[in-house]
């Protein structure tokens, strides 16, 4: 079975995150054992990105979600390290601005989705509007309950217009989050990341887990699947995400387009 199937949330399948081992590393024994496999995937992603950009038939949207300190930034830094920035971008979604709040919740998302030939990486996403909004009662329950279907309809529009969507939930344990937050306090090069909200949000761990479980259950569809990535080991997280991306892009059977000119009639002088 391909990894893109093994880690995928089956449509209609109820997700219980407690049943999914955050510490799992598949067939790999340790970081050294996975090093060559990750390097091969990073190189292959660069090749596939070149095809994607040349063909300009598809766009690729990668969504990264997870608890605080689950490794969204690290995934981008390590997995996407070989990509050409000419046709790749990262968009982070923070607290909505005043202007964004005057529109529907998908407005700020839709105008930054990748164009055909591009790879767009969302660090957090439209799912914040059924996560933090739900946990902190920022909008009434009937409002955010409607958003699951609205999100699925939005993603269906993107897919029908040739956007390939991969959504990754970086699944870490509460103990691993504590260790990573402590590391930020102890390491002078990481203290700039420290925010009071990171520690305050730990009190809502259970509420966030419930919110994620419903989002994963209700919004993993055949065309816009969710993948639950065991992420306590950063090296396995990186390999697993890269493996799913490679498998997905290879299934597109992309080819370089034929030249628009008759190359036999061109002479380089």
What pLDDT does 199 receive?
Answer: 85
What pLDDT does 264 receive?
Answer: 85
Is residue 117 in some structural domain?
A: yes
What pLDDT does 40 receive?
Answer: 98
Is residue 263 in some structural domain?
A: no
What pLDDT does 201 receive?
Answer: 92
6-28: buried (b, 16+ CB within 10 Å) or exposed (e) per residue?
Answer: ebbbeeeeebeeeeeebebbeeb
What pLDDT does 262 receive?
Answer: 85
Among residues 18, 116, 126, the alpha carbon closest in space to that of 58 is found at 116
Q: Is 226:220 a contact under the CB 8 Å cutoff?
A: yes
Q: How many domains does the chain have?
A: 1
Is residue 264 in some structural domain?
A: no
Is residue 265 in some structural domain?
A: no
Is residue 261 in some structural domain?
A: no
In the chain the beta strands, taken as DSSP E runs, fall at 59-66, 88-92, 119-123, 163-171, 226-230
Residue with tokens 């305050």: 200
Which residue range is the domain that position 154 belongs to?
3-255
Coil, helix or strand for 200? helix
Is residue 164 in some structural domain?
A: yes
Residue 216 CA to residue 66 CA, distance in Å, equals: 11
What pLDDT does 261 receive?
Answer: 86
CATH code, domain with 36: 3.40.50.300
Low-confidence ranges of the chain (pLDDT < 70): none
What pLDDT does 4 receive?
Answer: 83
Is residue 143 in some structural domain?
A: yes
What pLDDT does 224 receive?
Answer: 97
Q: Is 106:154 a contact under the CB 8 Å cutoff?
A: yes
């Amino acid at each position: 079975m391909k990894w893109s199937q093994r880690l995928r949330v089956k449509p209609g399948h109820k997700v219980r995150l407690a049943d999914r081992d955050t510490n799992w590393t598949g067939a790999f024994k340790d970081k050294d054992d996975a090093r060559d496999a990750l390097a091969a995937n990073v190189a292959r992603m660069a090749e596939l990105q070149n095809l994607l950009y040349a063909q300009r038939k598809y766009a690729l949207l990668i969504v990264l979600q997870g608890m605080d300190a689950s490794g969204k930034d690290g995934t981008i830094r390590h997995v996407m390290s070989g990509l050409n920035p000419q046709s790749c971008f990262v968009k982070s979604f923070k607290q909505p601005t005043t202007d964004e709040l005057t529109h529907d919740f998908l407005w700020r998302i839709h105008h930054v989705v990748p164009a055909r030939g591009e790879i767009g990486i969302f660090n957090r996403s439209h799912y914040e509007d059924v996560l933090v909004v739900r946990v902190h009662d920022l909008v009434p329950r009937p409002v955010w309950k409607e958003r699951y279907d609205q999100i699925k309809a939005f993603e269906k529009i993107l897919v029908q217009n040739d956007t390939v969507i991969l959504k990754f939930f970086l699944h870490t344990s509460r103990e691993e989050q504590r260790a990573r937050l402590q590391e930020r306090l102890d390491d002078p090069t990481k203290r700039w990341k420290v925010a009071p909200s990171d520690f305050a949000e730990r009190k809502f761990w259970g509420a966030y887990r419930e919110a994620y479980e419903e989002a994963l259950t209700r919004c993993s569809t055949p065309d816009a699947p969710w993948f639950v990535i065991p992420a306590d080991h950063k090296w396995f997280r990186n390999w697993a995400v890269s493996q799913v991306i490679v498998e997905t892009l290879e299934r597109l059977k992309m080819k370089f387009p034929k030249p628009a000119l008759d190359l036999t009639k061109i002479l380089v002088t």
